[in-house]
Amino acid sequence: MKAGRRLDARGWLDGARRVPSPNCDARPAGEAVILIVIHNISLPPGEFGGPGVAELFTNRLDPAAHPYYTAIKDLRVSAHFFIRRDGELIQFVPCGMRAWHAGASSWGGRERCNDFSVGIELEGTDATPFADAQYAALNELLGVLRAAYPGVELAGHSDIAPGRKTDPGPRFDWGRLDSPPTAADR
């Protein structure tokens, strides 16, 4: 990403590749974004660079393309952003809408984190270190989001769904973020 990027009135990031997902809906009336949730994903599991994530988020996943896809073919999920290993940033849902990324979750005593969060998926696994290009793109994106949503907190999927989710996993280095979350954030 380049300096000076910003979100438009709907929450689309200028310069990000847009691949609109149908797996979103309106945020509850008056609901503000107060949380950013970091995830990891790879499809097929442990494989990088293919079309699987975009196909999952746009309901075009071919269950015959990989045995794992049969088990997830009916999922209706998305995230606002996806950062590939090379730092490419893809946006599926505008930040003004609710993406379906968090599932059963809670933060600060509130349930349904999708209502008040932005979801960022990093192409990766719990067991694989993330790429330098991903941290660079993530830091730039976080800067834009923090400017748009002052005071926004930062958490991992494992923080909002403990016992159910483990991502972004132990190989994600929170210290590489320009403004890592504090203990209060996580």
Active-site positions read: 121
CA 102/CA 78 separation, integer angstroms: 9
Partners of 107 in beta bridges:
110
Number of other CB atoms surrounding residue 38 within 10 Å: 24
Positive or negative, the CA dihedral 41, 152, 143, 186 is negative
Q: Which has the closest alpha carbon to 39: 103, 161, 121?
A: 121
